[in-house]
Amino acid sequence: MEIKQIKNIIEAALLAAGEPVTIKRLQSIFAEQELTHNDIAKAIEQLVHDFEDRGIELIEVASGFRLQTKTILQPWISKLWEEKPKKYSRALLETIALIAYRQPVTRGEIEDVRGVAVSSYIIRTLMDRDWIRVLGYRDVPGKPAMFGTTKEFLDYFNMKSLQELPTLAEIKDIETIMPELDFGVDTNKHNNDSGKNKPENSNNAFQKQFNQDKNNEEE
Amino acid sequence: MEIKQIKNIIEAALLAAGEPVTIKRLQSIFAEQELTHNDIAKAIEQLVHDFEDRGIELIEVASGFRLQTKTILQPWISKLWEEKPKKYSRALLETIALIAYRQPVTRGEIEDVRGVAVSSYIIRTLMDRDWIRVLGYRDVPGKPAMFGTTKEFLDYFNMKSLQELPTLAEIKDIETIMPELDFGVDTNKHNNDSGKNKPENSNNAFQKQFNQDKNNEEE
Amino acid sequence: MSKVQTKTQTVVQSEMPFAIVEGKPYTQMPTDLYIPPEALEVILEAFEGPLDLLLYLIRRQNLNILDIPITEITKQYIEYIDLLGEMNFELAAEYLVMAAMLAEIKSRMLLPKPASEDLEEEDPRAELVRRLQEYERFKSAALDIDELPREYRDYIVTSAYVEQKEQYLIPPEVDMRDIIMAFKDILARADLKISHAIEREVLSVRDKMTSLLDILRERQFFSFDSLFNPLEGRQGVVVTFLAVLELLKAQVLDIVQNENYGQIYIKSLQVEE
């Protein structure tokens, strides 16, 4: 049996097994050809060399030989499992909004305002994203954590401080304050009015955000 | 980015995924390099060629591209496992054949052609294997489910699309054949003519079946 | 499939026994078509139904499917069924339907053909031939499918080990508008419930509260005066004072004064994690 053929079979076997394979087990594949331990070892040695130029490498671990993707390719490989981001739920948006405006705020207080329980998943997601942090623990029974927003939260939304969040009064007439926004009402009207109703501080974070959005839409 | 590097990354990615990967998904790996669909397709084409001399091959199935061991090496590879792959019963194969060629098809229609009842066990097995799915319900009394095959079915049998199914035997049009038929009831005559009337495809399904059975027994 | 069936499927291989009955191998189909009842049952189980059996009978005699000698085939078929009916009536049911169909065709063929030319009668076998052909093409397609390369039997989908396979979650893009709109909804809902719950502009106070909490994390105890920065002006002082009162109300801190007119201290009431 040619060495080329032996190498091909070993390569296929290692990739088919999906787990480390010992030389002994490889030998059993070639039972009819009666290959020695040494024959297999030699073929493996050559294969290691063959793979130098390729995307995978042959290495020996405790339980045998295996083929694995090269570590230097990991930046690309890991993208295989990147998940398309899902939009955040309404519940999450309301939670972050309440934390931003009412900080320091406990989970119980958020639940009081929203009228429903805040899932641990939402808190964990916001914590993982570094948008909220525990500011301390309130000295009441249960010692609930008080949440507040982080610098990362401000950075993400291009704000220097929480002061740049729209005031409650502004929120009440958000449609007129931020005419660039299409709230699904009469877009033509808003566009016509935009010059008049444009807020004074048009160069603020929101404006930036909106301009950015507009650009994105044009793409 | 060099084509060599692209090929190595694709090879590693296909092996890392362990399942068919679409060009689109491969493209997302190279998001930063902004490779086009065409760039990927070209690299794949070269890879297919590169693998000709190796133990594995790159093929396209319904859900994308994948690397698999070459069929000719199976005598060795199969020795990795003690257990032999199970065979499918004729009833199951005939049922899946009818669903594949006749989809959307109801159980009743399958039974009409096969002349026997289709056991629920077979339908359940095919569903469990993700080979068939319910495409809808026919708007007739009883609302019978209409079955069709899945991508998994095509993947399993190494096909890209239903177009690759083996060609279904032609059915001879009874109307055009009729005049040639002997309306007589004289059986002796028929027996004498049998050599002449022997169908062309004497190497037919039966022969195949028996040969296959013989092979199975040898295993 | 049972072992017995495999045996019976080798019928055409004349050198091989197609059945073993009472230890005696039968290498050829008996010429009188008599099949021992024990063998018949396994033979019929090897067939996929009456169409399959009929096809077998036709093929075994090398007859063209389009030209079935109904009389002969029916005779054979019914012989099979007779034997079967004695042992396994349930299995026989589907076969009996076919026997009835064959008998009907036979009887129609025996009837004299109508004299009238314009009344063209279809060959009584036409329907049977159609069904047999239809069944045969799928029977053959099933075998073709069985020969397609398939996973584990003919190939293995390969995989290589990957160091880190965990999912990388990309956090979604969020638009501040969405957060504000969410808050607007909350305000609207709160308005419905308690009319004056959120009436004052409190954000600057909230902001101050957050920075006070940061200070409290660093130091458990500090003077009240040090909280105020004159540079923040009158407004800043008021905001800071309100923030302290809010935190006092929330029982996050305590205000301590050891003696009348003495220094006022802020003491953290925060619980350590």
Which is more confident, B184 or C235?
Answer: C235
* pLDDT of the residue at C102: 83
Specify whether B71 is located in the same domain as B164: no
Specify whether B61 is located in the same domain as B143: no
Q: For residues C102 and C70, what is the distance between their CA atoms, to the nearest angstrom?
A: 7
Q: Which residue has the tokens 């801190």?
A: C253
Asked if B156 lies within 8 A of C150 by C-beta distance, the reply is yes
Given pLDDT bands bounded at 50, 70 and 90, which one contains residue C26? Answer: low
- State the pTM of this model: 0.61
Smallest Cα distance from C252 to chain A, Å? 5
pLDDT above 80 for A31: yes
With beta carbons under 8 A apart, name residues in chain A contacting B8: 53-55, 70, 73
Domain that holds residue A146: 90-211
Q: For residues B5 and B7, what is the distance between their CA atoms, to the nearest angstrom?
A: 5
Smallest Cα distance from C50 to chain B, Å? 7
Q: How large a percentage of chain C has pLDDT more than 70?
A: 67
Specify whether A63 is located in the same domain as A94: no
Q: What is the DSSP string of chain B?
A: --HHHHHHHHHHHHHHH-S-B-HHHHHHHTTTTT--HHHHHHHHHHHHHHGGGSSEEEEEETTEEEEEE-GGGHHHHGGG-SSPPPPPPHHHHHHHHHHHHH-SEEHHHHHHHHSSPPPHHHHHHHHHTTSEEEEEE-SSTT-PEEEEE-HHHHHHTT-SSGGGSPPPPPPPPHHHHGGGS-----HHHHHHHHHHH--S--S-HHHHHHHHHHHHHH-
| Chains in contact with C, where contact requires at least 3 CB pairs less than 8 Å apart | A, B
Highest mean pLDDT among A50-54, C125-129, C263-267: A50-54
Specify whether A67 is located in the same domain as A105: no
Judge whether A219 lies within some domain. Answer: no
Judge whether A218 lies within some domain. Answer: no
pLDDT above 60 for A190: no
With beta carbons under 8 A apart, name residues in chain A contacting B12: 55-56, 69-70, 73, 76-77
* pLDDT of the residue at A187: 35
The residues on A that touch B, with CB distances below 8 Å, are 4, 7-13, 15-18, 21, 25, 28-31, 53-56, 67, 69-70, 73, 76-77, 79-80, 82
Judge whether A153 lies within some domain. Answer: yes
- The beta-carbon neighbor of A76 closest among B7, B13, B80 is B13
Judge whether B83 lies within some domain. Answer: no
Asked if B212 lies within 8 A of C143 by C-beta distance, the reply is yes
Specify whether A119 is located in the same domain as A71: no
Among candidate residues A78, A107, A141, the one where a domain is terminated = A78
Measured between CA atoms, the residue of chain B closest to residue A24 is B80
Indicate the DSSP class of residue A164.
G
Specify whether B159 is located in the same domain as B58: no
With beta carbons under 8 A apart, name residues in chain C contacting A136: 213, 216-217, 252, 268, 270-271
Asked if A81 lies within 8 A of C186 by C-beta distance, the reply is no
Token representation of residue C243: 């923030």
Judge whether A84 lies within some domain. Answer: no
A104: CATH: 1.10.10.10
Mean pLDDT is lowest, of A29-38, B2-11, C48-57, C146-155, for C48-57
Measured between CA atoms, the residue of chain B closest to residue A22 is B80
Domains contained in chain A, number: 2
Asked if B12 lies within 8 A of A67 by C-beta distance, the reply is no
With beta carbons under 8 A apart, name residues in chain A contacting C203: 101, 162-163, 165, 167-168
Given pLDDT bands bounded at 50, 70 and 90, which one contains residue A211? Answer: very low
* pLDDT of the residue at C41: 63
With beta carbons under 8 A apart, name residues in chain B contacting C56: 206
Asked if C150 lies within 8 A of B157 by C-beta distance, the reply is yes
Mean pLDDT of the C128-145 span: 90
- Residue A132, amino acid: I
Measured between CA atoms, the residue of chain A closest to residue B77 is A13
Specify whether A57 is located in the same domain as A101: no
C198 touches chain A (CB under 8 A): yes
Specify whether A46 is located in the same domain as A95: no
Asked if A139 lies within 8 A of C271 by C-beta distance, the reply is yes
Specify whether B129 is located in the same domain as B190: yes
Asked if A18 lies within 8 A of B18 by C-beta distance, the reply is yes
With beta carbons under 8 A apart, name residues in chain C contacting A115: 189, 193
Judge whether A85 lies within some domain. Answer: no
- The beta-carbon neighbor of A29 closest among B13, B29, B76 is B76
* pLDDT of the residue at A28: 93
Among candidate residues A32, A48, A78, the one where a domain is terminated = A78
Given pLDDT bands bounded at 50, 70 and 90, which one contains residue A189? Answer: very low
* pLDDT of the residue at A113: 84
pLDDT per residue over C83-121, tens digit each? 766 666 666 677 777 888 888 887 887 777 666 555 556
Specify whether A161 is located in the same domain as A185: yes
Asked if B15 lies within 8 A of A76 by C-beta distance, the reply is no
Q: For residues A105 and B33, what is the distance between their CA atoms, to the nearest angstrom?
A: 44
With beta carbons under 8 A apart, name residues in chain A contacting C201: 167-169
Specify whether B119 is located in the same domain as B203: yes
Among candidate residues B47, B78, B109, the one where a domain is terminated = B78
Specify whether A125 is located in the same domain as A170: yes
With beta carbons under 8 A apart, name residues in chain B contacting A56: 11-12, 15
Which is more confident, C113 or C197?
Answer: C113
Q: ipTM score here?
A: 0.62
pLDDT above 70 for C154: yes
Judge whether B219 lies within some domain. Answer: no
Give A170-176 contacts, CB < 8 A, sequence gap 24+: A171/C180, A171/C183, A171/C184, A171/C187, A172/C184, A172/C187, A174/C180, A174/C181, A174/C184
* pLDDT of the residue at B117: 87
Residue by residue, pLDDT tens for chain B (219 residues) are: 889 999 999 999 999 998 999 999 999 999 888 899 999 999 999 999 999 999 999 999 999 999 999 999 999 999 998 888 888 999 999 999 999 999 999 999 999 999 888 989 999 999 999 999 999 999 999 999 999 999 999 999 999 999 999 988 877 665 555 544 444 444 343 444 443 343 434 334 433 443 444 344 333
Judge whether B175 lies within some domain. Answer: yes
